[in-house]
């Protein structure tokens, strides 16, 4: 059964090594033809091939035509190990997709381990390139399948786009066709043609444009090694799609600016690129011009402006000389409507502003115009202004709420499919009740006056509180968190799904759960309708809110009341109420105030962001009204105790598992981040001190004091802007990082413990804490710091995406709210730019740009009448002075004229500027 | 080595073995006539030569260690300078080799009936000709065969095998690629008939829940190893006996 062959592999790692590896060839490898993995009679018919056949794609086909392979009609495909190996080497995302298909039983994909099969192994010929060698592997395997299939009168068909390989295969008597030919002749699935990725030649040669050629990978590598080129991820500006920044790898490197179509040289957002620095006299500054795709006439402003900026001191500027790794994905967007719908070539505009338009070929244009569609980029030839792609799928009507929701979920990579059966199988039954043995193991806290305080309409309650006074005068305070880890056991399908989702995503009208609803809204949710399992953190405190002792335990609780913030506030204020719960709440409220004061003294920042709630029509689910979130004492009461619990837990798990605790830190932002803010505040005579978080907090408080000609809302604006100067807080594994500080909370150590229903990080923390008090066992992944860091990285990504999705959802609802309305509203200028001012409208939490180089109809009027003063944060337009923090009145209207990007338009009403303001 | 997949979704390891399969084993007894006992063992590309001298009168530098109720075991381990991809500058006497020698010595002190040979010395010389992972195991197996060849009394065969854990599957008899992939490695020496573990060593971290599972597969591997070794000994004896009858 075993046959040994020795492979000689030469590798280079500084010096030349001869590495000898064993390579066993086997005769017992499953070829999938026994009816389990592959159907006995493949049904897919093709005009080119007369008999029943199985498909064997080569690596390039897999890499380029994944969308075709993912189509439901593509079944009975044999994937060779060679192809798997090469795919993995060349593209991680494609490899992941390929693995997902091969694991899907319905797709009938079979992976054949051809390089270990004695029938399909071949020795490398002298001087044969690895590509040729791999091709030969594939041909030999196809030949093998043909022999296996000959008695069944079936064939194996090699799909390859490589002409040489195709010819060789034909010479060897194999059936080889190109993907285009194959797909074109499939019977019954004409829509597959649209999904076909285009070959690398330009569909339309655009005479006007010819991008510089990309250097070869080997040239790039030597260039990077010698320091001539810098490698980094391209980050296109959200304001201007023709401008991007690259942060080169390595310590202490500075961002490199890349400006203009030619310098970007076909690099798309998030690609890993190699950049060559421009000579210093060509350095430039990021343009202050806001550029958006929908207004084409003004689109090239940046390039002309860049010219005169160069004379000033610029920042390091470079140009892209080659692409190291593409990170293209599928993009949502719409088909542009100009041109006849009968034509097959169309331009597609992605919803993401940082992505260029994409040229696609489709026969369904008539159908697709007016729909949101998904498109993937295939290539970007030198002589084509735009990249080329293919149609993947349609999502639905533009403007339809479900479609738009789908778009924003897809764009932010939020998994929103219903939970799979495997996941649902992990759930307990709906009428589950606490078994006796659990009751015996846990502390019984059902007698305590526990209650929960949450926003209205909250069904996933994960925290409860209680307070009671002991006879010795000390206070017992408890925070009780839903014991989700009792239900989500490590390694189950449910656990894996929750880990990959990472967080629950709250859209305005929808919640995308991290765990199935049975858990999130029923079994784990600490409602006041029965006994629940909880993980409790119980302190003994004195009346000065100083902690005397802390303990953690798994418990059973019975919430006495599930209240909203408003209800709780009413109870506290109502002097006639004197039951246990109310007394507890009053005590908690008192303690919370002390805690908060102490925290602020330590330098915790209270920041702000404009948040709004939509009142949604119960029938149509359209937003009918909106209000900004009100903050009550009870909000901050709950928050204080959650913070305290998180800090206590963080200390405990860090002490117990110093190598693998899951913590959360908030890095201190560099001082330069605050420059703009300090500058802006100074224009109003406010001095902000930013040296430490404490000083910042104090000076922000200082700004709250009423002063002459300072609008009281400015302090809120300052807080909003200060929030934007900071970094995001991130999860990390304590064994791999030395700086634990949380800047915003001014806490030396912090983690998330209090919301396990909606955050996976809390689940990990629960497990660690349970292990540290001996309530649960550890398992290997829990203690593997590399693994933990990887999960943390995913969580950080998911949280960021969830946040973006939330914002996008608010924006979408704001748009729908203003549909057909025109409102004048008070707003504040928060940023002054070269050709525009950004205005925040507190009532709607809406932020938008008022262009000063366009009239109210959106026609460009030129920038000649604008005088911009960067240091003073002001701009003079037609003799009218606009300063940062100025109060203005804007007209808000919904612009649906461009179905491409429906949007909110803002026009200045007061002060009135001739030629710009609306009449 | 991130991204190195030690076991594919189809259940094959990098070199084409299944998780529980040992590498190809070849062994011979009595390869030298000068030594009292000798053997040559190949486990895949790990190749070891073992020779035994003794029991004999302790050499002069061992005098101080002489014991009146049992024999001294002296073990020397060396790795040929051509045994690995990079040439070794110091074939013996470095820390790793000394450690290895000490471990092997310990292993055999508990398996040889040392009390049968008082006031004497047994030398075990081990030479790695080619190294491709699981060196300790190959050495123990080779030494066992050489001791059998020398006719020294042992409680039982000593068979050694290693295992590692990747994606929840235990990989038995790991080679150099798997060894250097950074997974934990558990090696153990077993007396298969007595069903006793005489030596075990864990490199790297394994969770306690998984140790039992890995150890079980190591023991299974040792039993497989034992079957091969026993067959070799029987064949060797048959061959020797037939030589006697013919002459």
List, for residues A26-54, the tens digit of each pLDDT value.
888 888 887 777 777 777 778 778 888 88
Indicate if A243 and A391 belong to the same structural domain.
yes
Tens of pLDDT, residue by residue over A880-895, are 888 888 888 888 888 7
Per-residue pLDDT of A115-154, as tens digits, reads: 888 888 888 888 888 888 999 999 999 999 988 888 888 8
Residue A424 within any structural domain of the chain = no
User: What is the reported pLDDT for A300?
Assistant: 40
Phi-psi region of A704 (alpha: psi -120 to 50; beta: other; left: phi over 0): alpha
Number of domains present in the structure of chain A: 5
Does position A748 have pLDDT exceeding 60, yes or no?
yes
Q: Decide if A245 is inside a domain.
A: yes
Min Cα separation B8/chain A (Å): 9
Show the tokens assigned to A903.
């949007």
Look at residue A658 and give its three-state secondary structure.
coil
Residue A278 sits in the same domain as residue A350: yes
In a domain, A275, yes or no: yes
> What's the confidence (pLDDT) of residue A797?
92
| DSSP code string of A25-42 | EBS----STTSSSS-SS-
A252 and A188 part of one domain: no
Nearest to B172 by CA among B188, B158, B157: B188
Q: What angle do CA A463, A479, A581 make, to 5 degrees?
A: 85
Is the residue at A567 inside a domain? yes
d(C-alpha A870, C-alpha A679), whole Å: 10
Phi-psi region of A914 (alpha: psi -120 to 50; beta: other; left: phi over 0): beta
Highest mean pLDDT (candidates A185-189, A292-296, B45-49, B57-61): B45-49
Q: Say if A9 falls within a structural domain.
A: no
Q: Do B17 and A19 touch (CB under 8 A)?
A: no
Q: Which residues contact A413 (CB under 8 A, 6 or more apart)?
A: A801
Question: Residue A302 — very low, low, confident or very high, per pLDDT cuts 50/70/90?
Answer: very low
CATH code for the domain in which residue B179 is found: 3.30.230.70
Task: Evaluate whether residue A200 is within a structural domain.
Answer: no
Averaged confidence pLDDT in chain B = 90
Per DSSP, A523 falls in state I
Same domain for A529 and A461?
A: yes
pLDDT band at B46 (very low <50, low <70, confident <90, very high): very high
Query: Are residues A154 and A56 part of one domain?
Result: yes
A459 lies in the same domain as A596 = yes
Q: Is position A225 within any domain?
A: yes
Banded model confidence at residue A213, pLDDT cuts 50, 70, 90? confident
| Mean pLDDT rounded to a whole number for chain A | 82
Interface of B with A (CB under 8 A): 3, 5, 8-10, 12, 14-17, 21, 23-24, 44-45, 85-86, 132, 175, 177, 205-210
Q: pLDDT tens for residues A265-280?
A: 888 888 888 888 888 8
CB atoms within 10 A of CB B68: 6
pLDDT at B229 over 50: yes
Residues in chain A, overall count: 919
Residue in the block written with tokens 């190591």 = B218
pLDDT tens for residues A677-704?
888 888 877 788 888 888 888 888 777 7
**Candidates A6, A24, A31, A735, partner chain B, best to mutate (most B CBs within 10 A):** A24
Domain assignment present for B12: no
Pairing of strands B46-56, B121-130: antiparallel
CB A827 within 8 A of CB A842: yes
Is B14 part of any domain? no
The answer for A807, left when phi > 0, alpha when psi is -120 to 50, beta otherwise, is alpha
Q: At A868, which CATH number?
A: 2.40.50.140
Note the pLDDT of residue A307.
45
User: Looking at the predicted structure, is the pLDDT value of residue B1 above 80?
Assistant: no
- For residues A798 and A887, membership in a common domain is answered with no
> A699 and A832 share a domain?
no
- Tell me if A892 is assigned to some domain: yes
CA distance A777 to chain B (A): 9
- The pLDDT of A609-630, averaged and rounded, is 59
- Nearest Cα residue in chain B from A22: B15
Higher pLDDT, residue A442 or A196: A442
Q: Does B5 map to a domain?
A: no
Q: What are A842-883's pLDDT values in tens digits?
A: 777 788 888 777 776 667 666 677 778 777 778 887 778 888
**Mean pLDDT in residue range A218-223:** 85
Alpha carbons A124 and A126: distance in angstroms, whole number? 7
Pairing mode of beta strands A903-910, A887-895: antiparallel
Distance CA A639, CA A596 (A): 10
Mean pLDDT value across residues A586-594: 91
CA distance linking residue A499 with residue A795, whole number of Å = 8
With beta carbons under 8 A apart, name residues in chain A contacting B10. 30, 81, 111, 113
Is residue A140 domain-shared with residue A228, that is, in the same domain? no
What range defines the domain where residue A832 resides? 820-910
Q: In B, which residues are within 8 Å of A88 by CB distance?
A: 3, 5
**The sheet that has A836-841: what strands, in order across it?**
A846-851, A836-841, A822-832, A887-895, A903-910
For residues A771 and A782, is the Cβ–Cβ distance under 8 A? yes
Residue A308 pLDDT exceeds 50: no
Q: Is the pLDDT of residue A705 over 50?
A: yes
Strands A903-910 and B25-29: unpaired
Instruction: State whether A769 and A863 are in the same domain.
Output: no
Q: How confident is the model at residue A731 (pLDDT cuts 50, 70, 90)?
A: very high
Q: Is B200 among the domain residues?
A: yes
Q: Is the pLDDT of residue A392 over 80?
A: yes
Residues of A with CB under 8 A from a CB of B: 2, 4, 6, 17-26, 30, 81, 84, 88, 99, 102-103, 111, 113, 115-116, 777-780, 783
Nearest Cβ partner for B24 among A2, A19, A116: A2
Tell me the three-class secondary structure of A62-118, residue by residue.
HHHCHHHHCCCCCCCEEEEHHHHHHHHHHCHHHHHHHHHHHHCHHHCEEEECHHHEC
Q: Is the pLDDT of residue A442 over 70?
A: yes
User: Residue A626: pLDDT above 70?
Assistant: no
Tell me what pLDDT residue B191 has. Answer: 95
Q: How many CB pairs under 8 A join A and B?
A: 63
CB contact under 8 A, B207 and A21: no
Q: Which of A301, A258, A262, A261 is nearest to A283 (CA)?
A: A258
DSSP-assigned beta bridge partners for residue B51: B38, B125
* Domain total in chain B: 1
Nearest CA in chain B to A15: B86
| CB B215, CB B195: distance < 8 Å | no
Tell me the per-residue pLDDT of A794-832, one tens digit each, with 9 for 90 and over.
999 999 999 888 888 888 888 878 877 788 888 888 888
Average pLDDT over residues A87-94: 85
Res A303 pLDDT > 70: no
- pLDDT surpasses 60 at A212: yes
Q: Which of A230, A234, A209 is nearest to A221 (CA)?
A: A230
Q: Using the structure block, give the residue that is written with the tokens 């010389």.
A: B125
- Is the per-residue pLDDT at B28 higher than 90? yes
- What is the predicted pLDDT for the residue at A476? 92
How many CB atoms are located within 10 Å of the residue A239 CB? 19
> ipTM beyond 0.90?
no
Distance from CA of A306 to the nearest CA of B (A): 43
What is the DSSP code string of B42-110?
EETTEEEEEEEEEEEPPPGGGGGG--SSS-EEEEEEEE-TTSSSSPPS-SSSSHHHHHHHHHHHHHHHT
Q: What is the pLDDT of residue B141?
A: 96
Separation between Cα atoms, residue B151 and residue A444, nearest integer Å: 69
| Residue the block writes with tokens 């005590």 | A587
| A389 & A447 share domain | no
DSSP state of A637: H
Q: Are residues A707 and A567 in the same domain?
A: no
**Percentages helix, strand, coil for chain A, rounded to the nearest 5?**
30, 25, 40
Q: In chain B, what residues touch A24 (CB-CB under 8 Å)?
A: 15-17, 24
Least confident of A235-239, A757-761, B189-193: A235-239
Whether residue A357 contacts residue A338, with contact meaning beta carbons closer than 8 Å, is answered with no
Domain residues for the domain of B81 are 25-246
Sort out which chain B residues have CB atoms less than 8 A from A6's CB and list them: 45
What are the helix and strand counts (H, E) for chain A? 25, 38
CA dist A828 and A840 (Å) reads: 5
pLDDT score for A813: 82
Task: Please write the tens of the pLDDT for every residue from A490-506.
Answer: 888 899 889 989 999 98
End of a domain among A398, A418, A450?
Answer: A398
In a domain, B17, yes or no: no
Residue B11 lies in a domain: no
Query: What is the structure's pLDDT at A309?
Result: 44
pLDDT value for A290: 58
DSSP A763: H
Chain A residues with beta carbon closer than 8 angstroms to that of B208: 778
Among A308, A290, A301, A293, residue whose Cα is nearest residue A260: A301
pTM: 0.73
CB pair distance less than 8 Å for B45 and A20: yes
Task: Give me the pLDDT at residue A189, please.
Answer: 79
Residue B215, in any domain of the structure: yes
Q: What percent of chain A has pLDDT over 90?
A: 14
The pLDDT, as a whole number, for residue A577 is 82
């Amino acid at each position: 059964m075993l046959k040994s062959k020795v492979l000689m592999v030469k590798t280079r790692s500084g010096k030349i090594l001869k590495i000898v590896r064993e390579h066993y060839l086997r005769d017992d490898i499953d070829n999938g033809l026994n009816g389990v993995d592959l159907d006995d009679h493949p049904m897919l018919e093709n005009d080119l091939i007369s008999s029943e056949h199985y498909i064997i794609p080569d690596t390039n086909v897999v890499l380029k035509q994944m969308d075709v392979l993912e189509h439901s009609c593509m079944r009975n495909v044999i994937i060779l190990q060679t192809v798997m190996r090469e795919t993995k080497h060349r593209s991680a995302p494609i490899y992941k997709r390929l693995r997902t298909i091969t694991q899907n039983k319905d797709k009938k994909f079979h992976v054949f381990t051809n390089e270990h099969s004695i029938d399909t192994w071949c020795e490398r010929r002298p001087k044969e390139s690895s590509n040729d060698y791999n091709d030969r592997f594939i041909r030999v395997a196809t030949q093998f399948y043909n022999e296996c299939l000959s008695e069944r009168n079936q064939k194996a068909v090699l799909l390859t786009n490589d002409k040489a390989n195709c010819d060789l295969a034909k010479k060897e008597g194999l059936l080889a066709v190109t993907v285009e030919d194959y797909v074109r002749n499939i019977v019954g699935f004409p829509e597959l043609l649209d999904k076909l990725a285009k070959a690398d030649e330009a569909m339309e040669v655009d005479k006007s444009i010819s991008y510089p050629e990309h250097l070869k990978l080997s040239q790039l590598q030597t260039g990077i090694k010698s320091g001539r080129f810098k490698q980094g991820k391209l980050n296109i500006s959200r304001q201007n799609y023709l401008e991007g920044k690259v942060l080169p790898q390595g310590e202490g490197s500075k961002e490199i600016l890349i400006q203009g179509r030619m310098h970007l040289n076909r690099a798309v957002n998030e690609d890993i690129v190699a950049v060559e620095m421009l000579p210093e006299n060509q350095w430039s500054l990021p343009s202050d011009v806001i550029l958006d795709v929908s207004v084409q006439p003004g689109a090239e402003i940046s390039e002309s402006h860049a010219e005169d900026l160069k004379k000033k001191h610029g920042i390091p500027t470079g140009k892209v000389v080659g692409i190291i790794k593409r990170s293209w994905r599928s993009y949502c967007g719409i088909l542009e409507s100009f041109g006849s719908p009968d034509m097959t070539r169309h331009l597609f505009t992605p919803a993401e502003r940082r992505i260029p338009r994409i040229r696609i070929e489709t026969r369904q244009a008539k159908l697709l115009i007016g729909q949101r569609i998904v498109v993937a980029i295939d290539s970007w030839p030198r002589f084509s202004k735009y990249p080329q792609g293919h149609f993947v799928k349609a999502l639905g009507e533009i403007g339809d709420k479900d479609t738009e929701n789908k778009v924003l979920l897809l764009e932010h990579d939020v998994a929103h499919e219903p939970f799979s059966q495997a996941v649902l199988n992990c759930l307990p039954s709906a009428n589950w009740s606490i078994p006796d043995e659990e009751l015996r193991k846990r502390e019984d806290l059902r007698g305590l006056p526990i209650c929960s305080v949450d926003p209205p309409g909250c069904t996933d309650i994960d925290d409860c509180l209680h307070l009671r006074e002991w006879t010795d005068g000390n206070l017992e305070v408890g925070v009780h968190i839903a014991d989700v880890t009792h239900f989500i056991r490590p390694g189950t399908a449910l656990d894996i799904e929750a880990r990959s989702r990472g967080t629950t995503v709250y859209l305005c009208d929808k919640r995308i759960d991290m765990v199935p609803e049975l858990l999130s809204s029923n079994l784990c949710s600490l409602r006041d309708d029965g006994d629940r399992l909880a993980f409790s953190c119980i302190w003994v405190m004195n009346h000065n809110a100083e902690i005397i002792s802390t303990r953690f335990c798994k418990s059973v609780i019975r919430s006495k009341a599930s209240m909203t913030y408003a209800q709780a506030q009413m109870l506290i204020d109502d002097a006639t109420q004197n039951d246990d719960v109310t007394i507890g709440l009053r005590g908690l409220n008192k303690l919370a105030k002390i805690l908060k004061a102490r925290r602020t003294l330590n330098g915790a920042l209270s920041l702000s962001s404009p948040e709004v709630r939509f009142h949604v029509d119960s029938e149509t689910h359209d937003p009918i009204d909106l209000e900004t979130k009100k903050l009550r004492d009870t909000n901050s009461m709950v928050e204080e105790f959650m913070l305290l619990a998180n800090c206590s837990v963080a200390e405990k798990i860090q002490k117990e598992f110093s190598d693998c605790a899951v913590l959360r830190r908030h890095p201190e932002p560099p001082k330069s981040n605050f420059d703009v803010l300090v500058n802006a505040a100074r224009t109003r005579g406010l001095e902000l001190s930013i040296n430490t978080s404490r000083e910042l907090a104090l000076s922000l408080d200082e700004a709250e004091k009423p002063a002459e000609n300072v609008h009281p809302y400015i302090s809120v604006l300052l807080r909003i802007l200060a929030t934007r100067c900071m970094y995001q807080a991130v999860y990390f594994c304590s064994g791999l990082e030395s700086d634990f500080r949380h800047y915003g909370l001014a806490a030396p150590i912090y983690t998330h413990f209090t919301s396990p229903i909606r955050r996976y990080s809390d689940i990990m923390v629960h497990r660690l804490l349970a292990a540290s008090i001996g309530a649960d066992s550890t398992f290997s992944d829990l203690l593997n710091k590399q693994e933990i860091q990887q999960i943390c990285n995913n969580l950080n990504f998911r949280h960021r995406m969830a946040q973006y999705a939330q914002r996008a959802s608010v924006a979408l609802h704001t748009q729908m709210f203003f549909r057909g309305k025109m409102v004048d509203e008070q707003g504040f200028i928060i940023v002054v730019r070269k050709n525009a001012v950004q205005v925040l409208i507190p009532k709607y939490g809406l932020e938008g740009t008022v262009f000063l180089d366009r009239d109210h109809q959106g026609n460009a009027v030129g920038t000649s009448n604008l005088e911009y003063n960067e240091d003073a944060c002001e701009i003079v337009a037609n003799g009218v002075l606009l300063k940062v923090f100025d109060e203005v009145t804007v007209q808000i209207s919904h612009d649906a004229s461009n179905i491409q990007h429906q949007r909110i338009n803002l026009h200045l009403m007061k002060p009135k500027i001739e030629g710009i303001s609306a009449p | 080595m991130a991204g190195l997949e030690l076991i594919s979704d189809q259940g094959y390891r990098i070199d084409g073995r299944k998780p529980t399969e040992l590498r190809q084993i070849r062994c011979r007894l009595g390869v030298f006539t000068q030594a009292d006992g000798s053997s040559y063992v190949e486990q895949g590309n790990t190749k070891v030569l073992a020779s035994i001298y003794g029991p004999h009168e302790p050499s002069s530098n061992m005098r101080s260690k002489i014991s009146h109720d049992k024999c001294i075991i002296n073990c020397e381990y060396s790795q040929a300078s051509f045994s690995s991809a990079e040439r070794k500058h110091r074939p013996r006497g470095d820390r790793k080799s000394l450690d290895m020698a000490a471990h092997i010595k310990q292993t055999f002190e508990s398996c040889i009936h040392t009390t049968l040979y008082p006031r004497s010395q047994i030398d075990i010389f081990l030479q790695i000709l080619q190294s491709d992972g699981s060196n300790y195991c190959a050495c123990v197996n080779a030494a066992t065969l050489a001791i059998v060849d020398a006719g020294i009394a042992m409680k039982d065969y000593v068979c050694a095998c290693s295992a590692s854990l990747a994606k929840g599957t235990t990989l038995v008899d790991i080679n150099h690629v798997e060894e250097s992939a950074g997974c934990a490695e558990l090696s153990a020496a077993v007396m298969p008939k007595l069903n006793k573990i005489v030596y075990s060593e864990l490199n790297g971290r394994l969770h306690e829940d998984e140790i039992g599972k890995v150890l079980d597969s190591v023991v299974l591997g040792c039993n497989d190893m034992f079957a091969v070794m026993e067959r070799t000994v029987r064949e060797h004896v048959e061959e020797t006996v037939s030589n006697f009858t013919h002459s």
